[in-house]
Structure 1
Amino acid sequence: MSVELIAAMHRVGVEGIDDTQYSPGEFRDNDEVVVQDGEGNTVHAPPPAAGLASRLEMLAKWINQPHSDPNHADYLHPLIKGIALHFALGYEHPFRDGNGRVARALFYWFMFKNDFSAFRYIAISILLRNAPVKYGRSYLNTEADDLDLTYFIDFQCSVILRAARESAVSKK
């Protein structure tokens, strides 16, 4: 993973969208980007644009480090690490728009990279789009509790389980 990969995923993910909010592959350069609820209230102001590139570099470095040895103290299951990547990108909100789709794409990229090919058949995006309040609440609860990822991990795992069940049922 690299900062360039993050930018490339954004570029591919939003290319062709005819909307001035999107600047394919360009990181935000100001602090005007916020996440709002349905009533226009700001519910998340991402960290400052200043330092964004270095924070993304640190994220990439961490993602690229192996944490796969269950006998080592720093073991981290790839699913949990992928969910943490999803959260971190959404929390940083590096783009003016399209952050959620890039976060989900990176999650899938990480799962495939770690040989979890079953994720080809597990569609989480639709379930997340259908439950925006619960998805948003998992972010807000994490942020409100000193970035305790338990809330986000728990929600994402429930979405993945539901998507896997629905995939299995549709295959019958």
Structure 2
Amino acid sequence: MKNKQPPFQVTNKMIADVAEISELTGRLSAHDHLSSNPNLRRTNRIRTIHGSLAIEQNTLSLEQVTAVLNGKHVLAPPKDIAEVKNAYEIYERLDELDPYSVDDLLTAHGIMTRGLVEESGMFRTRPVGVVDQEGHVLHFGTLPQYVPDLVMELLDWAKHSDLHMLIRSCVFHYELELIHPFADGNGRVGRLWHTLLLSKWNPVFSWLPVESIIHDHQQEYYDAINASNDAGESTAFIEFVLSVIKASLIDAIHTSDAMSAGKMDKKTLRWQKIEQFLQTHEYIMNADVRELCGVSASTANRILVGLANEGKLYKARANGHWVYQASN
């Protein structure tokens, strides 16, 4: 596949979206407080994992995924909990992966499916039919004896193609799904690798929760795959995913604008930081508020008491300390 490009058409919509996404990415890259905010990065990473796994019928809610990753006990199927832990581990290692390495692809699959499937970290050895969320057969995957060569050719094409990475990554995502190289976990690995390719083009994509937006438009995701399968080329899928990437960037920029001092009064900005913190933590303490908001202990206490009086937080005891939790 090094000298043979997978079939698709470059449309005017793609060209327009690539231009707009490039401009939006530049705007987002200029907001250092977003990419360097560890709490926001963790929140987005959790949204990414929840979205990608929910597409594959994982039953855990966003709150349950957060609790699992905070080490809390969650009453849920062990398989679903293992999927969350595995996915978090490999997404946290995203920067270590070479997007053009077949060994790294297999390593990622091995971590993603560890303890869950028999053929973890290896290409499948049996034929497989690809089904949608309702169990309808979309197509049959490549015969297993051809899978390794086709995956290596696809990786080689992705490495040497002069297509814009925004389009190239979409083509890779679709073609990997078409080959369906693994017994299970193809969708999760495909979306991970799409994110990996984009993150090598621009680091903002390493924490942008594109998978969460795909989950919000899950039926359209399957419709785009079906349309591309019927057409025998990936144009419809590329156009859909570019629209999702654009929506994710617009959402992130709106968050950035809201966090900018000129767009928000101090009280609202502080509450937003605390609210984001509580999306990934069970409770917040005075010390957390001091660090988040850059205030003294007495000011942090006034902030917490004020939010409790407004009904946004409630006071509780945890490990012998006073803490505050989000009101439901």
TM tier relative to shorter chain: 0.7 to 0.9
Which residue is equivalent to 1:160?
A: 245
When the two structures are aligned, how many residues end up with a matched partner? 158
Question: Can you list the C-alpha shifts for 1:106-144, whole angstroms capped at 9, x where unaligned?
Answer: 112212223x11213421111222322211111111111
Q: Does 1:41 align with 2:142?
A: no
Structure 1 distance, partners of 2:134, 2:192, is 28
Partner of 1:103: 190
1:57 is matched by which residue type in structure 2?
Answer: M
Q: Deviations for 1:136-163, whole angstroms, at most 9, x for unmatched residues?
A: 111111111121x210111001110111
Question: How far apart are 1:30 and its partner, in Å?
Answer: 1.0
Structure 2: any 5+ residue segments left out of the alignment? 1-99, 259-328
The AA in structure 1 aligned to 2:225 is Y
Give the corresponding residue for 1:127: 213
Equivalent residue for 1:28? 124
1:151 to 236, 245, 260: 236
The aligned residue for residue 139 of structure 1 is 225
Indicate the percent of aligned positions where both proteins have the same amino acid: 25
Equivalence for 2:286: none
TM-score in terms of structure 2 length? 0.45
Asked if 2 retains the 8 angstrom alpha-carbon contact of 1:122 and 1:160, the reply is no
Tell me which protein shows more helix as a share of its residues. Answer: 2
CA shift in 2, pair 1:39/1:152, >3 Å: closer
- Aligned equivalent of 1:79, options 157, 166, 179: 166
* Counterpart amino acid of residue 197 in structure 2: F
Bigger radius of gyration: 2
Q: Does 1:14 align with 2:113?
A: yes
1:4 pairs with 2:103: yes
Show structure 1 runs of 5+ residues with no match: 68-75
The TM-score normalised by the length of structure 1 is 0.83
Query: In the alignment, residue 255 of structure 2 is paired with which amino acid?
Result: S
Shift of 1:80: 0.5
What is the RMSD of the two structures over their aligned residues, measured on CA atoms? 1.7
Distance 1:49 1:166 in 2: 40
Partner residue of 1:169? 254
**What does the per-residue CA deviation read over 1:68-122, in whole Å, with 9 as the maximum and x for residues that have no partner?**
xxxxxxxx111101111111111111111111111111112212223x1121342
SS at match of 1:43: strand
CA contact (8 A) 1:22 1:98 kept: no
Contact 2:196 2:206 in 1 (8 A): no
Residue deviations 1:41-65, cap 9 Å, x none?
2122112112111101111211221
